[in-house]
Amino acid sequence: MPQNDLIEAGTVWLVGAGPGDPDLLTRKAERLIAAADIVFYDALVGPGVRELIPAYVEQVNVGKRSGRHSKDQRTINDLLLEAAQAGRKVVRLKGGDPSMFGRSTEEIAHLAAHGIPVRICPGVTAASAAVAGAGVSLTLRGQARSVRFLTAHVRGDEPLDLDWNALADQQSTLAIYMGREAAPQIARALIDHGMAADMPALIAVNVSLPGERYLFTRLDRMAQLVPVVSGDEPAVLLIGEAVRRCANQQSIENDIATPMASLMADIAAAR
Interacting residues with a second copy (CB under 8 A): 16, 18-19, 21-28, 30-31, 97-106, 108-109, 112-113, 115, 117-125, 128-129, 131-133, 135-141, 145-151, 163, 165-166, 169, 172, 242, 246-250, 252
Please identify, using beta-carbon distances, which residue of 121 and 237 lies nearer to a second copy. 121
Bridge-partner residues for 13, per DSSP?
91, 119
- In the residue annotation, 42 being an active-site residue is answered as yes
CB closer to a second copy, 85 vs 139: 139
β-pairing, 64-65 with 68-69? antiparallel
Instruction: Report long-range pairs for 74-81 (Cβ below 8 Å, ≥24 apart).
Output: 76/40, 76/107, 77/106, 77/107, 77/110, 77/111, 78/110, 79/40, 80/12, 80/40, 80/107, 80/110, 80/111, 80/116, 81/110, 81/111, 81/114, 81/116
Min. distance of Cβ 117 from a second copy in angstroms? 5
The residue among 80 and 118 lying less far from a second copy, judged by its C-beta, is 118
Say which of 42, 89, 97, 169 is annotated catalytic.
42
Contacts of 59 (CB under 8 A, 6+ apart): 38, 39, 41, 50, 53
We find the least distance from the C-beta atom of residue 130 to a second copy, in angstroms, to be: 9
196 by Cβ neighbours in 10 Å (0-12 / 13-18 / 19+) ranks as middle
Tell me the C-alpha distance between 16 and 42, whole Å: 10
64 is catalytic: yes
Rounded to a whole number of angstroms, the minimum distance from the CB of residue 167 to a second copy is 9
**Shortest distance, CB of residue 260 to a second copy, whole angstroms?**
19
What are the distances in angstroms from CA 141 to CA 49, 205, 213, 219, 243? 34, 26, 26, 21, 13
Query: In 178-220, at which residue ranges do the beta strands (DSSP E only) sit?
Result: 200-205, 213-218
Task: Identify which of residues 97 and 212 has a Cβ nearer to a second copy in the complex.
Answer: 97
In the complex, least distance from residue 22 CB atom to a second copy, rounded to whole angstroms = 7
In angstroms, give the least distance from the CB of 131 to a second copy: 5
- Give the closest residue to 160 by CA, choosing from 140, 179, 145: 179
Nearest to 198 by CA among 214, 171, 221: 221
Is 175 or 228 the residue whose CB approaches a second copy more closely? 175
Nearer Cβ to a second copy, position 218 or 228? 218
Q: Which residues are catalytic?
A: 42, 64
